[in-house]
Every structure is written in C-alpha cells, then in structure tokens.
Chain A
Amino acid sequence: GAGVSQSPSNKVTEKGKDVELRCDPISGHTALYWYRQSLGQGLEFLIYFQGNSAPDKSGLPSDRFSAERTGGSVSTLTIQRTQQEDSAVYLCASSSRLAGAPGGNEQFFGPGTRLTVL
C-alpha cells in the first residue's frame, strides 16, 4: 500500500509501563507529524519532523513523551511511565516538504493507534 501505516492498531498497557508506537510515512514524504485524539482534548499536535531539521516538539505534553525519526522515514513515538490520561488515539501524518509542491499542503493520515492505559 502507498498510504501511511501505523502499528500496532490497538495497544493496551498497564499504568507505569513504557510504550512505543510506530509510523511508516508515505515514501518520499519529508514531513511527518504526530497528533493525539482524545475525547476531552480533541485533536492535538504533538511533534513535527521536517527533513533533517530539528523537530518541532512544542506540542509534547510532558517529558514522558519523545519521538524519533530514523533515516528520514520511519518514526517511533515513545511514552514512558504511561498514565491513564495518555489513553487516546495517536495519529501520524506525512506530507511533502513545501506547500506549493503537488499535494504538498495535504497531510495524509494513518489509521491511528488506539492506546488504552489501565
């Protein structure tokens, strides 16, 4: 498939455990975004990778959250010492670098990972 993929689709964990969520962007897309979708907060931006530039981490809610993007492709979002308020759907999106490029202003979303912290 040519779309954004995320794994796992569902993750249930116990409070205090660490979790890793994976995102495979569309091949060739240099921009990658993580968002969180929860009932109380709606859709929130978490972090943004653009090529080789330093990531924009301004949306990360706490230092328990971190993300990496290896080789300019796959990204992993890590949540340490999970809390019940971390329960949400975590969405990944990718796009071309420039808004003026074909499809460049569209972010293509993956199906999300539903995280449940017990």
Chain B
Amino acid sequence: AQTVTQSQPEMSVQEAETVTLSCTYDTSENNYYLFWYKQPPSRQMILVIRQEAYKQQNATENRFSVNFQKAAKSFSLKISDSQLGDTAMYFCAFMKLNYGGSQGNLIFGKGTKLSVKP
C-alpha cells in the first residue's frame, strides 16, 4: 500500500519570501504521478503542480516548483515570492497508474497549513 507523509502540520512565511513544504511517500510502484493540491478556506481543492515519476526534470509552474527525488521518495514544494493568496492547506498526493494507463485514486498526506504573513 502507498502512503504519503507530510511532516509539517503548520508553517508560516513572510510575504515575498520563499518557503518549502516537505512530502515523502512510500510505494513499490514504478509508474505514478505526484501532485500538490491547495485548499483555501473556500474548501475548493485546486491543483498546484504535478510530476510524472518517469520524468527526471522537476516540474515548475510560475512561482511553484518541486524537488522530486525518486530514489529518496521525496517530493517537496517550493513557493517563491509568497503572496497573501497562497495562504491555504497544501496536500501532497500520490496516484498510481492502473493497467492500460488509466489512473487510480489519489492518496493524500495529512496536509500542511501555510500562513503567509504581511
């Protein structure tokens, strides 16, 4: 069974600074995806960034980037130039690929509550 661990229940960062959220996972699968989702107080889950396990290059999306270390099973999220709107719960998630390439369900970590302070 796959597990996802986020060891930082809460973090805070000053506006415009950089923050890194940690995530580790455990799996015996070789083909999978990793995601970071953001959940603001509105409760709407929003995809922040995704990483295919077969790609060695780290994914980036504007101010968001990941450090994917497959051998170490680590998938951290870096947020640069933090903005007040980044305040939210951040969930790391794992998804394996089923036979035929169809996707499976997401397995989530417990989340990290990020507060961006002015």
- Which residues of A pack against B, CB within 8 Å? 31, 33, 35, 42-43, 45, 48, 50, 56, 59, 89, 91, 93, 95, 97-100, 104-107, 109, 111-112, 114
Contact = CB atoms under 8 A, between A and B. Distances in A.
A35 B95 CA distance: 14
B47 interface: yes
Nearest to B6: A42
20 contacts: A31-B102, A33-B105, A35-B105, A35-B106, A42-B108, A43-B111, A45-B106, A48-B105, A89-B43, A91-B45, A93-B106, A98-B101, A98-B102, A99-B102, A99-B103, A104-B103, A105-B50, A106-B47, A109-B44, A111-B44
B103 A45 contact: no
B103 A95 contact: yes
Nearest to A99: B103
Interface of B: 33, 35, 37, 42-47, 50, 52, 91, 95, 97, 100-111
B33 A99 contact: yes
The SS class assigned to the B binding surface is: strand
Contacts of A33: 105-106
A100 B101 contact: yes
A42 B111 contact: yes
Contacts of A114: 43
Contacts of A89: 43
Contact of A45 (B43, B47, B97, B105): B105
Contacts of B37: 109
Contact of A42 (B45, B46, B110): B110
Contact of B97 (A35, A56, A99): A99
